[in-house]
Amino acid sequence: MRLRNNPEALDYLLSQEGLVYINPTDVKGKWHEIFGNDNPIFIEIGMGKGDFILENAKRYPDKNFIGIEKYSTVLTIAVKKAKNDEIPSNLRYLKEDAVRLNEVFDDEEIDGIFLNFSDPWPKKRHTKRRLTYKSFLDVYKKLIKDQGHLVFKTDNRGLFEYSLSSFANYGLTFEDICLDLHHSEGYDDNIQTEYERKFSPRGPIYRADVVVDK
């Protein structure tokens, strides 16, 4: 996402205490306490401008949601957009890089992970940066509870094929694969992301739903 850096973004995020957590060191294992309930927790990694996680939080008040984004400028847009309305009490934001997930979540603290339109990193030498690379799957598997889901959507066929083989090699169980999300039956509850709205007119959206079997 190419956006001009907003030099005031970090200050804005710092002013959102209790809603936004910025590279925290004291939240691991505490998320249920933070939400003040024992409801399941779902995270979106690489949330971007946040439409998907906000709509989830509104639609599913009995679940908790955390939108994770590594760039302050992007996260600020998401938070400001959400604040145009009343922020649902089951939503939090986390400014963090996915490589540090195991510093901010305890094992089995998460019920499910969403990866939407993750950066494809098409060059071979950048494979390790893909959010479906085995080192990331390793962390996800620890953080997600047994039988929790990882749901992945993309318009990028190369990244989708790579990710399917990464999931299979890693021993994740395939629950559902869809090769054209917007023209298939049974996905009426799909919540679109900003990228999805932008890129779906140009071609199919791929979706994989895989389960962690411990």
**Contact footprint for ligand SAM (CB under 6 A):** 1, 45-48, 68-71, 74, 97-98, 116-119, 193-196
Measured at the CA of 73, the angle between CA 198 and CA 133, to 5 degrees, comes to: 65
> Shortest approach of ligand SAM to residue 38 CB, angstroms?
26
Q: Is 155 annotated as a binding residue?
A: yes
| Closest to ligand SAM by CB, 72 or 90 | 72
- Decide whether 55 or 106 has the Cβ nearer to ligand SAM: 55
Residue 119 annotated among the catalytic residues of the structure: yes
Alpha-carbon span 156 to 210, nearest angstrom: 18
CB of 102 to ligand SAM, least distance (A): 13
Phi first, then psi: what are they for 71, rounded to 5°?
Answer: -105, 130
Q: Smallest distance from the beta carbon of 47 to ligand SAM, in angstroms?
A: 6
CA distances from 105 to 3, 16, 41, 143, 187 (A): 28, 21, 11, 7, 30
Q: Report the nearest approach of ligand SAM to the CB of residue 77 (Å).
A: 10
State yes or no: 132 annotated in a binding site.
no
Residue 193 in marked binding region: yes
- 30 versus 70: smaller Cβ distance to ligand SAM: 70
Pair of tokens at residue 72 = 């302050």
* C-alpha to C-alpha distance for 175 and 210, rounded to whole angstroms: 5
Catalytic residue among 11, 119, 180, 213: 119
Task: Please state, in angstroms and rounded to a whole number, the distance separating the CA atoms of residues 158 and 203.
Answer: 13
Of the pair 87, 99, the CB lying nearest ligand SAM is at: 99
Rounded CA separation 59/61 (Å): 6
Contact 126/179 with Cβ under 8 angstroms?
Answer: no
Helices (H) and strands (E) in the chain, counts: 8, 8
On whether 106 is known to bind a ligand per the annotation, the reply is no
62 is annotated as contributing to ligand binding:
no
Annotated binding site: 44, 69, 97, 119, 123, 155, 193-196
Residues marked active site are found at 119
Annotated binding site for S-adenosyl-L-methionine: 44, 69, 97, 119
Annotated binding site for substrate: 123, 155, 193-196
